[in-house]
Structure 1
């Protein structure tokens, strides 16, 4: 089927035209005026900084402190240094501005915790499940970001986990604010990441500007934002099209220009779970990778339990036209000896309140969360996750050039 339903007007639109069609819903005069006003507010002169600037100095080793005597250099070197210093000062001012003006994202808080509710439901099933730690669900809102905001919502979801479960991430994310910002603030953080040299190719694609727009984003933009705070964001690419190594455009307007490093399937896929080469048809390799990812954790409870909550963060899950967040995986052992896997996925397009109700009643939650192997029909999928710890100075420079591990399926 080559048509897709528009989430705004419900009309069937060609899949090749769906992005332009959806974006047109948001380009009326009133929306444009609101965006212009928001930009004027965000570009207002910054108030005195209220956060520890030392963490930015650690992320940017070239920062020059005021009042340090200049060494004896040539005129050209002094001019270059002055220009670089002015640029850093401009970026610092923008960071102060974002920190002081950013707003906490408002969302529907699930009573009892979403993962805990899901765990109770899974315990009633004859299966083994691995779950991420804490995560909040951020839904798209019709009047704000319906049709284009899924990428930002997934950044919010993975950030809610990092802020709750990883103290080192909480200290640096979003200026150390300790909360998940709204989409407008995330857009400004991405612009600053681009200015600081993260994902320069992606920055050129967007011409360095995304604040106030309804442009779709994906895995690479998620990685750029997180890496700019010194977090070790990684991208994994699952490709069924047989695309060779090199620089390529992944899908649609998102996930562009990722330098791919092909791995030896025979050697390295052995690490991605059980299963033979025969049953790796389709996206079994993706399923195996996700199972292996959640399996490798520091055990906090007996592995004999049916449902295990791990210390692994959720996965940003991208495919053409949409992105979601994987918060776990389930396997059922069938009588014929085969294994039936289900990804456990949070979709920004679902209403949080309806999801909470279905989990509390233990009825109908499967349609919200379970996605089997047969549902993976897109030509390409990408995952983004964050390794523990904060990158050092040298590693931060390496993180500026986004790369991915590509797995042919």
Structure 2
């Protein structure tokens, strides 16, 4: 088929498509002006990134392909959990809408989990936070594919976000199959002004070490970073002097009795689960009667351990007859197929094995979480966000 070059962008197209493509340059003039305005806003917010490098990215980025579940997986999950409450005394708190992005064969299986979790968090932020929708990915209103997320991360590095991470990857990640970790997630979101926070969980001896460099472990080459005390909504849950967390189960409002009645294990991975419960129940949710599955305004959590990352979309607690409270993290794993998740939830069969993770499954010595506080940072606060610090909680 005969091809010709576009006189405007010089890209080559089949002759039958060339006229339509060339006309699109005139149709998109308003969009280009909007893109240029957004590019200037991004470039001027901090750092010395070239406007010319941002504007084409905003204009050319493509929406990530994913299997869209009608009504959303969270809605299907909520239905299944409500059916469960007819047979047990459980209480569940969920995040809002989240699209599931799975790793695809011949595309990103084996290395793309971090990017897929960023996409899941992004889908929630775009759906629930107007201020985030206006700034994320140049205000595109959609979740870009991995290649463009990689380019946005490079721009974050160019603007001075997470210098140790930039050094580790030599400021180049576009087009690669490099695994990423929690600090890359935080750096990308922070570059848009989002207040992404990192929490480390691990043994006390791991506190001085930078855990999120993919593949890094104690005893090998690791990168140090400072541990600071972050002032924010989660600050009240951290016992700063000893770097541990005091459980604060809001069982009074949930009809589970006083928090002093909690008789589960108080150490090890239970500390992480306590933190997640406190995170989702931060607003003092009131649950009573038949309404024991609620949706909070909390964003999902980026959940990292050595070799893999997942997305926490909620937490469930069951009040057992022996007085022990059994917790289950509710997780979306990019290694799972979206169609399989949808099918299991619609049929109410087998979804527990895909989504529920009890405390006994948390066998890794170290974990990291990334959560995103509301609002958009600017000025001095935005400059401070360039350094990725974390809260450390001893397991």
TM-score with structure 2 length normalisation? 0.79
Contact 2:264 2:324 in 1 (8 A): no
Corresponding residue for 2:104? 141
Superposition pairs of residues 97-136 of structure 1, within 5 angstroms: 97-125=56-84, 126=88, 127-136=90-99
* Counterpart check, 1:269 vs 2:209: no
Distance 1:372 1:94, change over 3 A: same
How big is the shift at 1:193?
0.2
Q: For this pair of structures, how many residues does the alignment match?
A: 340
Deviation at 1:131, TM superposition (A): 0.2
Among 159, 180, 186, the alignment partner of 1:223 is 186
Contact 1:202 1:256 in 2 (8 A): no
Spell out, residue by residue over 1:130-150, the C-alpha distance to the aligned partner (whole angstroms, 9 max, x if none). 000010000000110000000
- 2:123 paired residue number: 160
State the alpha-carbon separation in 2 of the partners of residues 251 and 141 from structure 1: 23
Q: Residue 248 in 1 paired to residue 210 in 2?
A: yes
CA separation of 1:248 and 1:267: change in aligned 2, threshold 3 A: closer
CA RMSD of aligned residues (A): 2.7
Change (3 A) 1:124 1:96: same
* Cα separation, 2, equivalents of 1:404 and 1:260: 5
Offset at residue 101 of structure 1 (A):
1.6
Provide, for residues 357-379 of structure 1, a one-character-per-residue CA deviation record: whole Å limited to 9, x for no partner. 00000000001100000000111
Q: 1:257 to 1:326 in 2, by over 3 A?
A: farther
Map Cα deviations across residues 65-103 of structure 1 (whole Å, 9 max, x no partner). xxxxxxxxxxxxxxxxxxx9xx54xx2111112112211
Which residue of the other structure, out of 339, 354, 378, is the alignment partner of 1:353?
339
Q: C-alpha displacement at 1:268, in angstroms? A: 6.8
Aligned pairs for 1:301-316 within 5 A: 304=289, 305-316=291-302
In 2 relative to 1, CA 371–245 (structure 1 residues): closer, same or farther, beyond 3 Å?
closer
Alignment match of 1:211 (pick from 144, 150, 174): 174
Structure 1 SS opposite 2:360: helix
Matched, 1:281 2:249: no
CA deviation after TM superposition for structure 1 residue 257, in Å: 4.7
Structure-2 separation of matches of 1:128 and 1:285: 19
**Shift of residue 272, structure 1, vs aligned partner:** 4.4
> Hey, what does 1:66 align to over in structure 2?
none
| Secondary structure at 2:311 match in 1 | strand
Distance 2:133 2:331 in 1: 24
Match of 1:32 in 2: none
1:217–1:253 Cα contact (<8 Å) kept: no
Taking structure 1 as reference, are residues 258 and 352 closer, same or farther at Cα in structure 2, changes over 3 Å only?
Answer: farther
Return the offset for 1:59.
5.3
Range that drifts further, 385-394 or 149-158: 385-394
Say if 1:268 and 1:162 are closer, same or farther in 2 by CA, change over 3 A: same
